[in-house]
Amino acid sequence: MSRFCVLLAWAFLAHLGLGAAQQDQKCCGPIVPRREWKALASECVQKLELPVRYVVVSHTAGSSCDTPALCMQQAQNVQNYHARTLGFCDVGYNFLIGEDGLVYEGRGWNIKGDHTGRFWNPMSIGITFMGNYMERSPPPRALRAAKSLLACGVAQGALSSNYEVKGHRDVQKTLSPGDQLYEIIRTWPDYHE
Amino acid sequence: MRKVRLQGLLFVFFISELQAAAKSAEEKFVLREGQTFTVNCYFSIWQYLNSRKAWQRLTDGGERLTLALIDKASGGPSQVQVGRCFLEEISDEGILHVQMTNLRVEDSGLYECVIDQHPKAKDHPILFHHPVRLVVTKDPSDTPASDKTPSQNKAQVPTRPHVTTKTQSILHTSPRTVTQFLPMVTASLSSPGLGVTPTQRTDVIRISLISIVVFVVCGILSKSLVFTVLLVVTQRSFGSRPVNPQK
């Protein structure tokens, strides 16, 4: 009996260890496609080399939105500001997260974003939370949507399995993603300074 | 006797893999004499913009040797050259760019990018970026074979963005990618020593081990402890049938 106990103990501990190490490989959650939020056509051509090892989390520092209708409008606003006012080829972020708990497709997994500096953009996926998170936090459903998006990225091979999350203020001189959101992402297991 | 040996072997494998997983990942670079080593260490601008940043070597005796230091907050330059070490801080992007030129075999060892926050904290600097294991060889044919199982690690890409193409980097196990020890253990289980003596005892060992492996793998794939419970139940009922020689 002791022999079996030894082997069982080993098997159980191995299982626990691997269980803790593995990421949750769920099917990819819903992402609101560009067409649906009435995005302007992208003029970007520079691709990202996949898989990408870094994710940069920012906030738009603008208005937040808590319904799909409002967030659709807000996504358009952000894109207009980037494309028309700043002259970018498209909205700068790869993905946008709304307080409605939905993920909005920006440049997506394959196109290089314009969300941080020239060194980090080709090396990272930029996700932004629509709103200003200096004084308040995004609701749990928005954080869930972001985490689900990142798990999806790994599942699709767009993100390395050992990807690292960084706050926008870690890689650029900025207040983004806001004090509250920064403190939250610092607790994420994939966060590395 | 064979059973005890096998148990011991399995435990040794398990413990050694636990230890390997617990160690922080080193980044290994293998270069030849005369070549230039380059690495980009990333620091958090928010946390460490005004901190001193250093490139340090860890000696075998556990001592820290600062090879070069950048202290922009005190008015120092953003580029520093000390001997064959060149350091540049790109503050706007949070990058400490490190270069060691004209490498020699004696340069082989363990290096770290550290934040040197306080004169008193010299013994406990904050590490940013993985420790760098530099191996400098004399001859191309002397390049040492990898000591781990590199084929198990997905992150082994020679063209990582922040490393020049002159270097090869092999990222060792990080605590999260523990998947490499399972193939190692299954290899040990399928070794020829198992099924040699055709006694009923050895058959029981072989069958139960295989079933254990199958259950563990199923448990892993399904991410459920139910399988582990099934394992317990199955082994209990299976183990009670043949004669237990230890009693």
Residue B186: pLDDT band with limits 50, 70, 90: very low
Q: Which domains does chain B have, with CATH numbers?
A: 23-139 (2.60.40.10)
| pLDDT value at residue B124 | 66
Residue among A164, A49, A29, A53 at smallest CA distance from A111:
A49
Q: Does A193 touch chain B (CB under 8 A)?
A: yes
For residues B238 and B244, what is the distance between their CA atoms, to the nearest angstrom? 11
Chain B residues closer than 8 Å to A193 by CB: 43-44, 47, 128
Chain A residues with CB under 8 Å of B244 CB are 1
Could you give phi then psi for residue A60, rounded to 5 degrees? -80, -15
Predicted confidence (pLDDT) at residue B204 exceeds the cutoff of 80: no
Residues on chain B touching A117 (C-beta within 8 angstroms): 92-93
Per-residue pLDDT for B129 more than 70? Answer: yes
Q: Which domains does chain A have, with CATH numbers?
A: 28-185 (3.40.80.10)
Instruction: Give dist(CA A98, CA A139) in Å, integer.
Output: 9
Q: Is the pLDDT of residue B188 over 50?
A: no
Higher pLDDT, A166 or B165: A166
pLDDT at B235: 76
Residue B168 has pLDDT above 50, yes or no: no
Sign for the CA dihedral angle at B103, B104, B108, B110 comes to: negative
Record the pTM: 0.67
Judged against a pLDDT cut of 60, whether residue B237 lies above it is answered with: yes
Contact across the interface for B219 and A15, Cβ inside 8 Å: yes
Asked if B29 and B168 count as a contact pair (C-beta separation under 8 A), the reply is: yes
Contact check, Cβ <8 Å, A119/B90 = yes
In order along its 193 residues, chain A shows pLDDT tens digits of: 678 777 777 767 666 655 544 444 456 889 999 999 999 999 999 999 999 999 999 999 999 999 999 999 999 999 999 999 999 999 999 999 999 999 999 999 999 999 999 999 999 999 999 999 999 999 999 999 999 999 999 999 999 999 999 999 999 999 999 999 999 999 999 999 8
Q: Give, in degrees to the nearest 5, the angle at Cα B41 between B40 and B47.
A: 140
